[in-house]
Amino acid sequence: MHKLTCRVLGLLGFAFFFMTATAANLPSSAGFKQVQSLLAAQRYVSGNFTQIRKVTLLRAPLVSTGTFRLSEKSGLIWHTQHPIKSTLTLSATKLTQQIEGGPVTVFTQAKQPIVFAFTKVFLSVFQGNTSELLKYFTVTFTGDKHDWHMRCVPVMSPLDKAIRQITLTGANTVKQVIIADSKGNTQTIRFTQVQVR
């Protein structure tokens, strides 16, 4: 289950970026407001990803690739194509996973409380409610819409037990998300061929 938790935290870190675009009480710099306005208009985002997981106990990183789709209506759909085909779907009410065409597994809040706490925070921000985000994270921002950097540090349980920080970088869209967990592992997600509507 720890593998699933890490995977979902990586995906949610990515979703977090788009969801913060509607936040009103985050950093007030002109650059942040530019990025916020740009991203607030993006209601559908799709593209390719490369996810690199560096685990302290392993010598080589774990690399996966695939496609993603994020929208207000459908939530986040993450299709891993290599090395193992799988689909992870995240919405406000459920998290499902299907591996190699097998049966669909549904995860509940009772079994994955950290994942669902994270989900609650970011889906609420996606709906324009930033109070949940600010309850759990301190957010810093530098740059402008052409080149920006955002750092989010959890300040409240249960997220601070799983995540040390989330760092996002981008231009007109998110280019990279790095999630550092509390055990010294990192996940880097790079996005290419991103399309926005």
What are the tens digits of pLDDT across the range 50-63? 999 999 999 999 99
Q: What angle do CA 152, 155, 157 make, to 5 degrees?
A: 120
What's the whole-number mean pLDDT along residues 77-96?
88
pLDDT at 22 over 50: no
pLDDT of residue 15 exceeding 60, the answer is no
- Measured between alpha carbons, how far is residue 80 from residues 51, 62, 109, 163, 182 in Å? 9, 13, 23, 23, 25
**What confidence category does residue 130 fall into, taking pLDDT thresholds of 50, 70 and 90?**
low
62 or 4: whose pLDDT is higher? 62
What's the rounded Cα separation, in Å, for the pair 113 and 72? Answer: 23
Q: Is a pLDDT exceeding 50 seen at residue 1?
A: no
Q: Can you give the residue ranges of every domain in the chain?
A: 2-196
Q: What is the CATH number of domain 2-196?
A: 2.50.20.10
